[in-house]
Amino acid sequence: MAITLITARATRIIQVSSRNLFEIAAEELGDALQWNRIARLNGITDPFLTGIYELKIPVYDLTASNGGVPL
């Protein structure tokens, strides 16, 4: 479960512990394939997180899904 810490403009910040970006994208954006947007926004290359992270979550974008392939 993610905890929303800050709401600022269109980007939110959540705190997560030992999760993966696929499930976070599914919960926060409603689309697991948008994991790469979270990764790019946070400078992360590995979608499997260990430890505690504060992640910026972008606004959901219906046109942003590209099959989960990093751009």
pLDDT of amino acid 56: 97
Residue ranges covered by each domain of the chain: 3-57
* pTM, to two decimals: 0.76
Q: What is the pLDDT of residues 33-47, one digit of tens each?
A: 999 999 999 999 999
CA distance 58 to 13: 9
Q: What token pair was written down for 69?
A: 């392939």
Q: Which helix (H) or strand (E) holds 40?
A: helix 35-42
- Identify the pLDDT of residue 69: 56
Measured between alpha carbons, how far is 23 from 25 in angstroms, rounded to an integer? 5
- The per-residue pLDDT for range 3-40, each reduced to its tens digit, is 554 444 578 999 999 999 999 999 999 999 999 999 99
